[in-house]
Amino acid sequence: MPNKPPPKTGIARSDAQSIHVREMNLVEELIGKVTFTEMMLLHFYGRMPTRAEARTLDVVLVTLMEHGITPSSIATRLIYHSAPDSLQSAVAAGLLGVGSTYIGTMERCAIYLDEILKGAERGIERARSIAEMHFRERTPVHGFGHPFHKPDDPRTQKMIDVALEEGVSGRHIEALRILSHEVDEVYGRHITINATGASAALLGEISIPLKIMRGVAVVSRSAGLVGHILEESGTPSAPHIWEAVNQAIPYQRFE
Amino acid sequence: MPNKPPPKTGIARSDAQSIHVREMNLVEELIGKVTFTEMMLLHFYGRMPTRAEARTLDVVLVTLMEHGITPSSIATRLIYHSAPDSLQSAVAAGLLGVGSTYIGTMERCAIYLDEILKGAERGIERARSIAEMHFRERTPVHGFGHPFHKPDDPRTQKMIDVALEEGVSGRHIEALRILSHEVDEVYGRHITINATGASAALLGEISIPLKIMRGVAVVSRSAGLVGHILEESGTPSAPHIWEAVNQAIPYQRFE
Amino acid sequence: MPNKPPPKTGIARSDAQSIHVREMNLVEELIGKVTFTEMMLLHFYGRMPTRAEARTLDVVLVTLMEHGITPSSIATRLIYHSAPDSLQSAVAAGLLGVGSTYIGTMERCAIYLDEILKGAERGIERARSIAEMHFRERTPVHGFGHPFHKPDDPRTQKMIDVALEEGVSGRHIEALRILSHEVDEVYGRHITINATGASAALLGEISIPLKIMRGVAVVSRSAGLVGHILEESGTPSAPHIWEAVNQAIPYQRFE
Amino acid sequence: MPNKPPPKTGIARSDAQSIHVREMNLVEELIGKVTFTEMMLLHFYGRMPTRAEARTLDVVLVTLMEHGITPSSIATRLIYHSAPDSLQSAVAAGLLGVGSTYIGTMERCAIYLDEILKGAERGIERARSIAEMHFRERTPVHGFGHPFHKPDDPRTQKMIDVALEEGVSGRHIEALRILSHEVDEVYGRHITINATGASAALLGEISIPLKIMRGVAVVSRSAGLVGHILEESGTPSAPHIWEAVNQAIPYQRFE
């Protein structure tokens, strides 16, 4: 239990008359004036976001919210079935799947982009080494490739277009394009930039720190998981999921 | 493992060219065109929300996002300290606190409003019995009262005003006012309608089913908890929390 | 934030030389001298358990640990696949399924037994009303019935026999038998006492408070879930689970 | 959704008459015959453990169960307060803290021991480089050091003694001693082997795979957290925790 720099919080304060979040008056300045997305950015930035920032975050939040039947949504449905009086548990169980396997690739792609941007005129060179390293090690380039969406992920271009139209600087998007160009060269074929890669670039454009980038996906997926619970509450699938998994994983004597 | 009605999902479908969520084309119709809040309502309703619906949901999401240092945000900070590589765990731990003690009161207030609305011309009578029952049993009327915000919670009137200005029907808000009038009569003094009570009315206005009402709070708080993680990553408070709790809960020989 | 009775803890204390848990010296009196199960009971009771108490708890812990492919173990496998660097998340996700649907029946059966025991000579009468109420309302009697194990759950008699051999008083077991007799009479056929019902009686015998009865199942299942993770780490089933669930829940246009 | 090797499970199977876990008959061979700890090892090994294996695991489980007020137990208490009807959520929240910061050191110490053991006669040399690397980088040697327990952690010697008395081979314990000797040499003073380091050696002795080593701590802590819930249900500390944290983390205008 080390006791180093004095702790403090600058998030919220309230008294009998007023509530402030990040020094904005909740009732006078926020309720009815800002969207959820703007409020979320106010929380992160400590200042009101610009229109470009909010619209760009909306692009990412809208894109990541829903992917149908996934490990996360299956977990949420099963836990809702097992503890229907505790909706928050079902959402939490699904969110625990927003981890390194899927969403972790967003952070790792963001690290590439930071690398490329730090390189200034040597950015292309750095992009080249990233692509070559993965080619050599036969590991996937994070943010690239998709099992179904070929040759291109339909979301990527749209996400980038909207952000640019809204007026973000375009530096991270440019870094992603540089990387994409080098990846295609090194691999000798076109590999799509997927929605996770595009998300990394857009969140970079609006200065979301790498440390909480995964949190944007967590927030977005939480809404989708509540939607799955709503469907599950009307048309329960959990017993069928259970049965299907039982069929899919046969028992075999342990050696 | 019962196997009753055939399961199905109507949430999302995709092929190589397109991704649909609730029958809307994600790329053509949603990205860059809708906010997070509209997307969330599309998910719940299976149709695009009206402006009044989206703005009313934003009011609730903005109001509930942040309350500073609370059991949820303390849990999130402690778990982030213990597993900093697993941001989703820290958010999940905090969300597990969006339970019956605090947010459960929203659902229970919504049940009152449904009761009152079902009663048609007998609504006032029903509101009276709800108030009397709690007065008799000395239990709190869910959605009413606040330890600091007296005589009135500053958020409540604003939330209601915005929703009415946006053009919701006002039925649930009217039921809440009826209940408030009866509560004041029965208790012989004014008891504030708190933000949870107002949220119950607003979510009723936009037809959020009781079953997932708690989910709206879960989504909203998830964004706030990510904000706490961001602050914690810069100014760690967890060691101080630990130390303070150690001081606050002295060891005493077990009897 | 009410501030009522002064808080305290009697669980553990330590200084540079020694660590005490429940006033027992960890190094001198516990390590190498007690089993996990005895340590757990020391924690709950604040005193060393008897041999009968520890052996009876072992019966319940051993019985509940593993049920193969269940909602909990499926959730654990999916979350482990999604966040393999965070084993604790995968266990936590599965444990969130130790809720009202399955394990909640243990608590509710324990409430019946308490009811019957409180009734003294009127216990049979009370057992009768419990059985009749469920028969009338066509709801299951908690702790009774099993989809596969008919006419009798093979675990039940064994669990009871071991506890009695070890020398528990037998009061809760007797209450369970009274209830079973009345259930069979009221339903006009034999309905098995399942392992959850037997667990409720055994935990009652060793004075595990109702409030944490579910916690015994949580502890036991946590070990089973770690076993599933071990198997999953060698023979990944998660991609197959995902695929099987996709097949089992077809997409159907949302109405 | 890749679909590679055919999945299977060898954990449990049941029919109307019998239930088998890891090919052992639950009723005939396990209930009343094995402890929780033996059952857990049967689950992991796929065979009955020896007495030495079970007793050694008990040493670790008993040692790790309880540390009083910690980030995990504080989180559990706060979530129990917020969702008292969902005990499993409170335990899960606390277990999410069994992460890289504290328990992760056990795995990393186990990696050192594996390194040293793989080195055969060059083990001392490898131990030396591990110690030197940490000395050079001013990072802690995992499994070594303790803020209070100086010069020696009272648990360590006892844990090792019991395991050796029970008859484990002693290879991992020997590797830990080699590492300890090199650490003391390189740092020029005695640094204690802490209980986490000793746990790594003992779990290595009984062949618990590195991949699930953290799971042993998860299981052990789950029992401790249920004990905290029991205490909390009688003497609620959560409101005091909240208050104390509010005092400890003052609000300061966000810059």
| Dist CA D247 CA A138 (whole Å) | 53
Q: Are residues B105 and B40 in the same domain?
A: no
Tell me the chain C residues in contact with residue B248 when contact means C-beta distances shorter than 8 Å: 7
| Rounded mean pLDDT, C118-123 | 84
Asked if the C-beta of D84 comes within 8 angstroms of chain B's C-beta atoms, the answer is yes
Residue linked to tokens 């699938």: A237
Instruction: Kindly list the strands in the beta sheet with A24-25, ordered across the sheet, starting from the edge strand earlier in the chain.
Output: A12-14, A19-21, A24-25
pLDDT, position C157: 96
pLDDT, position D149: 79
Q: Are residues A218 and A238 in the same domain?
A: yes
CA nearest D236 in C: which residue?
C7
| Dist CA C242 CA A70 (whole Å) | 7
Runs of H (alpha helix) within chain D:
36-45, 51-64, 71-82, 87-95, 104-118, 123-137, 154-166, 171-187, 195-205, 210-234, 238-248
Question: Would A72 be classed as within a structural domain?
Answer: no
Does D96 score more than 60 pLDDT? yes
Mean pLDDT of chain B: 95
Tell me which residue of D170, D200, D208 sits closest to D105, measured CA to CA: D200
Q: Are residues D144 and D221 in the same domain?
A: yes
Question: Would B152 be classed as within a structural domain?
Answer: yes
Within 168-197 of B, beta carbons closer than 8 Å to A belong to none
C-beta separation of B156 from B198 below 8 A? yes
* DSSP helix/strand/coil, A98: coil
All chains having 3 or more CB pairs closer than 8 angstroms to chain B = A, C, D
For residue C32, the one-letter residue type is G
For residue C163, the one-letter residue type is A
Q: Rounded to the nearest 5 degrees, what angle is found at the Cα of B239, between the Cα atoms of B236 and B240?
A: 90
Angle of the D87-95 helix axis to the C210-234 helix axis, nearest 10: 50
Question: Would D254 be classed as within a structural domain?
Answer: no
How close does chain B come to C148, measured CA to CA in Å? 10
Asked if the C-beta of D89 comes within 8 angstroms of chain A's C-beta atoms, the answer is yes
Could you report the predicted ipTM of this complex, rounded to two decimals?
A: 0.96
Asked if the C-beta of D23 comes within 8 angstroms of chain A's C-beta atoms, the answer is yes
All residues at 6 or more sequence positions from C70 whose CB lies less than 8 Å from its CB, including other chains: A242, C97
Closest by Cβ to A99, choosing from C83, C247, C248: C83
Q: Are residues B137 and B45 in the same domain?
A: no
Task: Please confirm whether the linkage preceding C151 is cis (ω < 30° from 0).
Answer: yes
CA nearest C84 in B: which residue?
B86
pLDDT, position B4: 61
Kindly report the backbone phi and psi dihedral angles of residue B189, in degrees, each rounded to the nearest multiple of 5, phi listed first. -165, 165
| Rounded mean pLDDT, D221-239 | 97
- Put simply, the answer to whether C226 touches D211 (Cβ < 8 Å) is no
| CA dihedral of residues B102, B105, B110, B113 (deg, nearest 10) | -140
Quickly state the pLDDT bin for A7 (edges 50, 70, 90). confident
pLDDT, position A43: 98
All residues at 6 or more sequence positions from C6 whose CB lies less than 8 Å from its CB, including other chains: none
pLDDT, position A20: 96
Q: Are residues A133 and A235 in the same domain?
A: yes
Q: What is the DSSP letter of A28?
A: I
Q: Rounded to the nearest 5 degrees, what angle is found at the Cα of B72, between the Cα atoms of B66 and B74?
A: 100
In tens, the pLDDT along D120-150 reads 788 999 999 999 999 999 999 999 998 887 8
Question: Which residues share a beta bridge with A251?
Answer: D9
In tens, the pLDDT along A166-176 reads 999 999 999 99
Closest by Cβ to C99, choosing from A89, A92, A243: A89
Quickly state the pLDDT bin for D6 (edges 50, 70, 90). confident
| Dist CA D224 CA B145 (whole Å) | 36
Tell me which residue of A216, A228, A209 sits closest to A61, measured CA to CA: A216
In tens, the pLDDT along A102-144 reads 999 999 999 999 999 997 788 999 999 999 999 999 999 999 9
Tell me which residue of D152, D144, D203, D150 sits closest to D173, measured CA to CA: D203
Best to test chain C binding among D15, D22, D36 (most C CBs inside 10 Å): D36
Question: Would B229 be classed as within a structural domain?
Answer: yes
- Higher-scoring residue by pLDDT: B15, D20: D20
Does A228 score more than 70 pLDDT? yes
- Put simply, the answer to whether A88 touches D85 (Cβ < 8 Å) is no
All residues at 6 or more sequence positions from D147 whose CB lies less than 8 Å from its CB, including other chains: A1
* CATH number for the domain that contains residue C219: 1.10.230.10
Does B70 score more than 60 pLDDT? yes
Q: Are residues B43 and B148 in the same domain?
A: no
Q: Token digits for A69?
A: 């039947």
Query: Domain range for residue A123?
Result: 50-65+99-243
CB contact burial A22-54 (16+ within 10 A = b; e otherwise) = bebebbeebbbebbbbbbbbbbbbbebbbebbb
Number of domains in chain A: 2
Within 102-131 of B, beta carbons closer than 8 Å to A belong to 103
pLDDT, position D2: 47
Best to test chain C binding among A70, A78, A229 (most C CBs inside 10 Å): A78
Does C84 score more than 50 pLDDT? yes
- Put simply, the answer to whether B255 touches C11 (Cβ < 8 Å) is no
Closest by Cβ to A96, choosing from C93, C100, C240: C93
Q: Token digits for B177?
A: 């006012």
* DSSP helix/strand/coil, D116: helix
Tell me the chain C residues in contact with residue A196 when contact means C-beta distances shorter than 8 Å: none
| Rounded mean pLDDT, C1-30 | 87
Q: What is the DSSP letter of A12?
A: E
pLDDT, position A160: 98
| Dist CA A72 CA C75 (whole Å) | 9
Question: Would D4 be classed as within a structural domain?
Answer: no
Q: Are residues A57 and A32 in the same domain?
A: no
Question: Would C120 be classed as within a structural domain?
Answer: yes
In tens, the pLDDT along B20-42 reads 999 999 999 999 999 999 999 99
pLDDT, position D120: 74
In tens, the pLDDT along A73-82 reads 999 999 999 9
At CB < 8 A and 24+ separation, what contacts does D58-61 make? D58/C34, D58/C35, D58/C36, D59/C31, D59/C32, D59/D159, D59/D162, D59/D163, D59/D202, D60/D159, D60/D199, D60/D202, D60/D203, D60/D216, D60/D220, D61/C36, D61/C39, D61/D37, D61/D216, D61/D219, D61/D220
pLDDT, position D4: 61
In tens, the pLDDT along D31-69 reads 999 999 999 999 999 999 999 999 999 999 999 999 999
All chains having 3 or more CB pairs closer than 8 angstroms to chain D = A, B, C
Three-state SS string over chain B comes to: CCCCCCCCECCEEECCCCEEECCEEHHHHHCCCCCHHHHHHHHHHCCCCCHHHHHHHHHHHHHHCCCCCCHHHHHHHHHHHHCCCCHHHHHHHHHCCCCCCCCHHHHHHHHHHHHHHHCHHHHHHHHHHHHHHHHHHCCCCCCECCCCCCCCCHHHHHHHHHHHHHCCCCHHHHHHHHHHHHHHHHHCCCCCECHHHHHHHHHHHCCCCHHHHHHHHHHHHHHHHHHHHHHHHHCCCHHHHHHHHHHHCCECCCC
- Put simply, the answer to whether D83 touches B97 (Cβ < 8 Å) is yes
Within 54-83 of C, beta carbons closer than 8 Å to D belong to 55, 57-59, 61-63, 65-69
Closest by Cβ to D10, choosing from A12, A22, A252: A252
pLDDT, position B255: 55
Q: Are residues A19 and A144 in the same domain?
A: no
* DSSP helix/strand/coil, C162: helix
Tell me which residue of B38, B75, B10, B53 sits closest to B229, measured CA to CA: B75
Question: Would B7 be classed as within a structural domain?
Answer: no
Stated length of chain C: 255
In tens, the pLDDT along D138-197 reads 999 999 998 887 888 999 999 999 999 999 999 999 999 999 999 999 999 999 999 999
| Rounded mean pLDDT, A147-155 | 87
In tens, the pLDDT along A27-62 reads 999 999 999 999 999 999 999 999 999 999 999 999
In tens, the pLDDT along B188-200 reads 999 999 999 999 9
How close does chain A come to D125, measured CA to CA in Å? 30
Mean pLDDT of chain C: 95
Tell me the chain A residues in contact with residue C241 when contact means C-beta distances shorter than 8 Å: 71, 74, 245, 248-249
Q: What is the DSSP letter of C121?
A: G
C-beta separation of A43 from A22 below 8 A? yes
Asked if the C-beta of C11 comes within 8 angstroms of chain A's C-beta atoms, the answer is no
Q: Are residues B132 and B23 in the same domain?
A: no
Tell me which residue of B26, B144, B92 sits closest to A93, measured CA to CA: B92
In tens, the pLDDT along B139-166 reads 999 999 988 878 889 999 999 999 999 9
Q: Are residues D163 and D41 in the same domain?
A: no
- Put simply, the answer to whether B100 touches D78 (Cβ < 8 Å) is no
Does D72 score more than 60 pLDDT? yes
CA nearest B248 in C: which residue?
C7
pLDDT, position C240: 96
Question: Would D255 be classed as within a structural domain?
Answer: no
Quickly state the pLDDT bin for C147 (edges 50, 70, 90). confident
Q: Are residues A113 and A36 in the same domain?
A: no
- Put simply, the answer to whether C95 touches D96 (Cβ < 8 Å) is no
Instruction: Characterize the bridge pairing of strands A19-21 and A12-14.
Output: antiparallel
Q: Are residues B104 and B34 in the same domain?
A: no
pLDDT, position C16: 82
pLDDT, position B147: 84
Residue linked to tokens 């017993």: A239
- Put simply, the answer to whether C93 touches A84 (Cβ < 8 Å) is no
pLDDT, position C1: 44
Q: Say how far residue B223 (Cα) sits from the centre of its chain.
A: 13
pLDDT, position A255: 55
* DSSP helix/strand/coil, D125: helix
pLDDT, position D79: 98
Question: Which residues share a beta bridge with C19?
Answer: C14
